[in-house]
A = this chain, B = another copy of it.
Amino acid sequence: MAHLGENRYGKSRVRVMKVVRHDTHHEMKEWSVRVLLHGDFETCFTEGDNSRILPTDTMKNTVYWLARESNAGTLEEFAIELVQYLLGNNPQVSKATAEVEEKSWKQVFIDGQPHATTYTLTGPELQTTLVTLDRGGEPVVQGGIDGLVILKTTNSAFTGYLKDKLTTLPESTDRIFGTRATIEWDFSPGATNFAATRATALSTLLKVFADHDSLSVQHTLYDMGDAMLKALPDISQVKLTMPNLHCLLVDLSRFGQENPNQIFVPIDEPHGYIEAVITR
């Protein structure tokens, strides 16, 4: 006989834009929210009993309603309020998670000044948060950046690796190093400086990436995480995922040309994939 194992449900891709209209300028944020609930839902599965089911449509409405009620200044605070509301109003729920992604809208510069009410999308990356709340516990908060595309044209090598009968990769002392990085940092319990942490996290990881004499993706990834831990006392660990954006040196000798590290072919697939948690 079958049994119900781990299960959860919720609403994904609840998009909401909030405009705060100050006299001198507007603040605009665009979020996509995902809510997931764990709890006592067994008879829904086994008998079709919906009496303990909060419809996912209502979760969507909850996001809209809370967007209006809330004064949250950061996506982390909004996500905390959301899981607190859901647990507080639904005794059948034992755990709630909220994920929020924020698009990279920034004010456009007109004649050298940021325009008060006009925005442009400035990158593929998303600012992210994931907040988990167990009944009776405190919110566990993670901040992050998803899909930050960065590339350096020098100070990256890859040599001294294992060779076997299937090795064809030539060693390189000066290669392109590109990645679509995803970074997730775990806040220590009680931390509240979400905005400052986000700003410092980005500036710190960019600086290490740019200046590092990289011997491998792993090598640079570790130093990025190490620097973030040093700069951010309120985080307990950071996870970095850095898939390669490979740029292959083109063999131009077939056409009688030299190629002194100038002409590359970027490829999307296949690609290397490296992830690691750096902890204290």
Residues of A near any B CB (own CB < 8 A): 1-21, 26, 28, 30, 34, 36, 41, 44-58, 60-62, 64-65, 67-69, 89-90, 105, 108, 110-111, 115, 117-124, 148-155, 158-162, 164-169, 176, 203, 206-207, 209-211, 214-219, 221-222, 225-226, 229-230, 237, 243-244, 247, 250, 252, 254-257, 259, 261-280
The docked-state distance in angstroms from the alpha carbon of A214 to that of B160 is: 47
The 6 closest A-B pairs by CB, nearest first: A48-B215, A5-B277, A7-B276, A13-B269, A56-B272, A121-B149
Contacts of A49 in B (CB 8 A): 160, 215
The docked-state distance in angstroms from the alpha carbon of A121 to that of B206 is: 13
The docked-state distance in angstroms from the alpha carbon of A57 to that of B166 is: 9
Contacts of A120 in B (CB 8 A): 123, 148-151, 206
Q: CB < 8 Å: which of B28, B89, B166, B244 contacts A62? A: B166
Contacts of A61 in B (CB 8 A): 166-168, 254-255
A68/B11 in contact, CB under 8 A: no
Q: CB < 8 Å: which of B254, B256, B276 contacts A4? A: B276
Number of copies: 4
The docked-state distance in angstroms from the alpha carbon of A56 to that of B217 is: 11
A270/B60 in contact, CB under 8 A: yes
Q: CB < 8 Å: which of B13, B20, B162, B165 contacts A55? A: B162
Contacts of A271 in B (CB 8 A): 11-13, 56
The docked-state distance in angstroms from the alpha carbon of A10 to that of B41 is: 38
B221/A45 in contact, CB under 8 A: yes
B222/A275 in contact, CB under 8 A: no
Q: How far is the CB of A11 from chain B (nearest CB, A)?
A: 5
Q: How far is the CB of A242 from chain B (nearest CB, A)?
A: 9
The docked-state distance in angstroms from the alpha carbon of A203 to that of B150 is: 25
A115/B210 in contact, CB under 8 A: yes
For A151, give the chain B residue with the smallest CB separation: B119
Contacts of A167 in B (CB 8 A): 55, 57-58, 61
Contacts of A26 in B (CB 8 A): 153-154
A161/B4 in contact, CB under 8 A: no
A9/B218 in contact, CB under 8 A: yes
A12/B255 in contact, CB under 8 A: no
A252/B68 in contact, CB under 8 A: yes
